[in-house]
Structure 1
Amino acid sequence: MKKYNIVIVGGGSTFTPGFLKSFCRMKNEFPLAKLVLFDIDANRQKPIGEYGKILFKELYPTAELIYTTDIAQAYTDMDFVFMQMRVGGYEMREKDEKIPLKHGIIGQETCGPGGIAYGLRSTKEMIKAIYDIRHYAPNAWVLNYSNPAAIVAEALRREFPTDKKILNICDQPENVVRSCSRLLGCNFKDLQPVYFGLNHYGWFTNMYDKNTGEDLLPKIRELVKERGFLPQDAEQRDKSWLETYGMVQQLMADFPDYLPNTYDQYYLYPSYKAKSLNPNFTRANEVMASREKRVFAECQQVIEAGTTKDLVNIHEDAHAEFMIDVAMSIAYNLNNRFIVIIENYGAINNLPDDGMVEVVAELGANGPSPMRVGNIPTFYKGLLENQLASEKLAIDAYFEGSYQKALQSLTLNRTVNDAKIARVILDELIEANKLYWPELK
């Protein structure tokens, strides 16, 4: 069986230790020759990399693990590139969240003005990264799950229209499926969803039992009404995530047709959500105060002891196993089904062909083959067309250096819907992002 070379871009992420554990656990299913951690922040990456070396020495001695800040060492001869960039780090995420909230508008990592700000930062670095990857590894698959995936996907579609080995993907629909399995008391692998939308803005129209063919959505609807909704790994989640999943109950009470992606709440209840968020202590602050400290402390504990045995229980997030499964489906031409982001071309019949939509697809060596969902109802079509236009205008602003397009993007976004507020927020975001954004005139 072939052994694969993989690089994780953003190797200093707190999600990386869980990824390393998943690679060790799945070594017989998807064997590695070499795993490289690549990050531009050497100090941040070092404790993660040292933890990984100890872990691999004990659990995966047949695979080489290195960490580096060198582009050539990171990308040369790679089979898969796992992209988890966070351009600007948590310092900029905090600004993305707090600037809009100061004006009564949702401050969120991927939705609203904060998502647009993050998207424009990510676009420049993602485009550069793809050119670097193609220089050193022309045939590598690029699996991008850097946020905000919808805006990044639109940028990469325009810059690399013929590159068929870039796959944009998000684990949040997968997390919702796994959370349904907790609610139903079944294995998540026995659930087969039907889904449509944009990234962080979609709905499950069906949730089939693979073994019986029964649509379990009616049962899910009743269980959510009775019990609420929790993430599969609720015991490891911060308070804000429990509140996010909890809003599914309200969403389904108001719009019972389908099961929502948890992020839908920001677009459907923008005023309520903005008022419920603390402008002085946002999600970025919560992560820095909890997950950041916990994961780095756990890694340091292993480094000081020189062993992982009986010391640490770093959580394996669902997205690690999910992304490895995606790579396996491509590598082995398994044609397993995943919810992925693709250029529409009729997957959702009554949305534009050039929209980057999120649907179920079979995934093999030739990439995704989407499962078409036909026409979607007017209410959902209207919501998605509005957001699709906002995202496209944001990328127009990037490529054209257009202040006007950026203003239109924010004004049109359902979380804003006010040109005067949009202009104030945009001007503050431009100042905050002057080291990252192109000049907008």
Structure 2
Amino acid sequence: MKLAVVGGGSTYTPELIDGFARLRDTLPIGELVLIDPAADRLDLVGGLARRIFTKQGHPGRIVTTSDVDAGVADADAVLLQLRVGGQAARQQDETWPLECGCVGQETTGAGGLAKALRTVPVVLDIAERVRRTNPDAWIIDFTNPVGIVTRALLQAGHKAVGLCNVAIGFQRKFAKLLDVAPGQVHLDHVGLNHLTWETAVRVGGPDGADVLPKLLADHGDAVAEDLRMPRAIVDRLGVVPSYYLRYYYQHDAVVEELRTKPSRAAEVAAMERQLLDMYGDPALDEKPALLAKRGGAYYSEAAVDLAASLLGNGGSPYQVVNTVNNGTLPFLPDDAVIEVQAAVDGAGARPLPVERLDPLYSGLIAHVTGYEELALQAALHGGRDRVFKALLAHPLVGQYAYAEQLTDRLVAHNREHLAWA
């Protein structure tokens, strides 16, 4: 089995490598190709990756290359984890929206739109290269904004599934609170990427008893603290929102918070410098503890599980993924991409049925889906007017004056990445 990772020079990659090594019986990789244009980073990450495989006794071969076509040739699956513009672009995404009184965040709001505009054309070019060399390969997208990027891939006819680590993070945390094995916890997880709610927590599978009310009663403080939201919000909802919902439920307070502290991008950039120094140590043969602070917790387990299922090598029968709606949420277009529990196998991902949602959730989902459709049109076709309309449609922007100012700033800060600007 051959897997390729585009963005293989990421400081995330040792987390992925560690999972591949530990879970080699689930996903038996014969060749792993790490692809990245940054040769210096790729050498450091590739060296550590080989040492991790060696230490854990993995027989697979690890290859590094900057040549996308050569790297993805004959791959059974291609994992996308790239960041167009690097941390410098992320720093901008998290900064200039604050100048207009809007949340500065890399995957949602104005910053998320900027990332989508930079990313979608690059991802589609890579996907076409995959299709030319191996049209049967699965594309697993971990590149944010996952919902928009996955929708672009699916609309272009690619065999693609989107992946996020939010759900597996909740599964692991809830399992610990409930003192059960993670595999016993099934989430009724519904929404869009980075806009989801856990409406039930079932022990034993999709038909298991819902223990969410007891979980919140017994551990509500711990859940709320993890979300960085007041417990009163969680108690009134009676469900567990993704921590990204704080940008909606506490927008103004979050803006003030972000204005008074260093950006997450600055923190991550400093952390990456430390990690790369560590990766260059020839004695290091395991992922360092610092990597846990970088983000992407349990990413490797989710990626292994999904790839194994798609490639017919086992894997969990039900997984939370980003895939086409196709009537699952009847208030959305069929071609919208949603994030829900799905049955996953070699034929792809098929969403499980979802009970009727409270309008408190379905209304916001529909609103953001409208924005995502406009964002994708802007990413595919360009133009200041399309960018403006997408911003005006976003519930974290929504006002004409804000949309005008943010459009100017977005274009100014991203001109080098926008072919039409």
Shorter-chain TM band: over 0.9
Partners of 1:279 and 1:95 in 2: CA distance: 16
Task: Report the residue type matching 1:27 in the other structure.
Answer: R
Q: Which residue of 1 aligns with 2:234?
A: 252
Q: Which residue of 2 aligns with 1:234?
A: none
Where do 1:90-169 residues align within 5 Å? 90-158=87-155, 160-161=156-157, 163=158, 165-169=159-163
**1:148 Cα offset (Å):** 0.6
Greater CA drift, 211-220 or 352-361 = 211-220
Partners of 1:251 and 1:11 in 2: CA distance: 39
How many residue pairs get aligned? The number is: 415
Asked if 1 retains the 8 angstrom alpha-carbon contact of 2:175 and 2:182, the reply is: yes
Partners of 1:354 and 1:28 in 2: CA distance: 35
Task: Report the residue type matching 1:322 in the other structure.
Answer: A
Match of 2:195 among 201, 204, 210: 201
Match of 1:180 among 170, 174, 184: 174
Partners of 1:196 and 1:380 in 2: CA distance: 9
State the secondary structure of the residue aligned to 2:420. Answer: coil
For the structure 1 residues 60 and 277, does the alpha-carbon distance in structure 2 shift closer, same or farther, using more than 3 Å as the test? same
Offset from partner CA, 1:37-84 (integer Å, 9 cap, x none): 100111221110111222223334521111110123211110111110
Asked if 2 retains the 8 angstrom alpha-carbon contact of 1:169 and 1:341, the reply is: yes
State the secondary structure of the residue aligned to 1:263. Answer: helix
Partners of 2:230 and 2:173 in 1: CA distance: 11
Asked if 2 retains the 8 angstrom alpha-carbon contact of 1:396 and 1:402, the reply is: no
Asked if 1 retains the 8 angstrom alpha-carbon contact of 2:167 and 2:320, the reply is: yes
Where do 1:254-403 residues align within 5 Å? 254-256=236-238, 258-278=239-259, 281-290=262-271, 292-301=272-281, 303=282, 305=283, 308=285, 315=291, 317-332=297-312, 334=314, 336-403=317-384
State the secondary structure of the residue aligned to 1:416. Answer: coil
For the structure 1 residues 419 and 73, does the alpha-carbon distance in structure 2 shift closer, same or farther, using more than 3 Å as the test? same
Partners of 1:133 and 1:248 in 2: CA distance: 45
State the secondary structure of the residue aligned to 2:335. Answer: coil
Partners of 1:315 and 1:400 in 2: CA distance: 37
Offset from partner CA, 1:164-205 (integer Å, 9 cap, x none): x21112111221222222332322211011121011001111
For the structure 1 residues 419 and 279, does the alpha-carbon distance in structure 2 shift closer, same or farther, using more than 3 Å as the test? farther
Residue 45 of structure 1 pairs with residue 42 of structure 2: yes
For the structure 1 residues 377 and 52, does the alpha-carbon distance in structure 2 shift closer, same or farther, using more than 3 Å as the test? same
Partners of 2:361 and 2:53 in 1: CA distance: 47
Partners of 2:104 and 2:63 in 1: CA distance: 37
Partners of 1:96 and 1:330 in 2: CA distance: 34
Task: Report the residue type matching 1:213 in the other structure.
Answer: G
Residue 407 of structure 1 pairs with residue 384 of structure 2: no
Asked if 1 retains the 8 angstrom alpha-carbon contact of 2:77 and 2:139, the reply is: yes
Partners of 1:405 and 1:29 in 2: CA distance: 44
Task: Report the residue type matching 1:110 in the other structure.
Answer: T
Partners of 1:30 and 1:405 in 2: CA distance: 42
Structure 2 segments unaligned to the other structure (5+ residues): none
Task: Report the residue type matching 2:362 in the other structure.
Answer: K
Offset from partner CA, 1:203-224 (integer Å, 9 cap, x none): 1111101079221110122134
Residue 33 of structure 1 pairs with residue 30 of structure 2: yes
Greater CA drift, 68-77 or 330-339 = 330-339
Q: With structure 1 as the length reference, what TM-score do the two structures score? A: 0.89
Partners of 2:56 and 2:213 in 1: CA distance: 43
Offset from partner CA, 1:100-127 (integer Å, 9 cap, x none): 0122210001010000000111101000
Partners of 1:72 and 1:353 in 2: CA distance: 33
Q: With structure 2 as the length reference, what TM-score do the two structures score? A: 0.93
**1:394 Cα offset (Å):** 1.2
Asked if 1 retains the 8 angstrom alpha-carbon contact of 2:118 and 2:379, the reply is: no
For the structure 1 residues 228 and 401, does the alpha-carbon distance in structure 2 shift closer, same or farther, using more than 3 Å as the test? closer
Partners of 1:318 and 1:428 in 2: CA distance: 35
Match of 2:208 among 213, 226, 242: 213
State the secondary structure of the residue aligned to 1:110. Answer: coil
State the secondary structure of the residue aligned to 2:370. Answer: helix
**1:333 Cα offset (Å):** 5.9
Offset from partner CA, 1:339-369 (integer Å, 9 cap, x none): 1112212111222222211111010010012
Offset from partner CA, 1:211-247 (integer Å, 9 cap, x none): 79221110122134344446xxxxxxxxxxx6xx232
Where do 1:208-247 residues align within 5 Å? 208-210=202-204, 213-229=208-224, 245-247=227-229
Partners of 2:411 and 2:84 in 1: CA distance: 15
**1:401 Cα offset (Å):** 2.4
For the structure 1 residues 131 and 31, does the alpha-carbon distance in structure 2 shift closer, same or farther, using more than 3 Å as the test? same
Partners of 1:374 and 1:185 in 2: CA distance: 27
Q: Which residue of 2 aligns with 1:233?
A: none
For the structure 1 residues 349 and 333, does the alpha-carbon distance in structure 2 shift closer, same or farther, using more than 3 Å as the test? farther
Asked if 2 retains the 8 angstrom alpha-carbon contact of 1:362 and 1:369, the reply is: yes
**1:308 Cα offset (Å):** 2.4
Q: Which residue of 2 aligns with 1:12?
A: 9
**1:10 Cα offset (Å):** 0.6
**1:315 Cα offset (Å):** 4.9
Partners of 2:331 and 2:138 in 1: CA distance: 30
For the structure 1 residues 287 and 136, does the alpha-carbon distance in structure 2 shift closer, same or farther, using more than 3 Å as the test? same
Asked if 2 retains the 8 angstrom alpha-carbon contact of 1:350 and 1:376, the reply is: no
Root-mean-square deviation (CA), in Å? 2.1
Greater CA drift, 49-58 or 105-114 = 49-58
Partners of 2:3 and 2:117 in 1: CA distance: 27
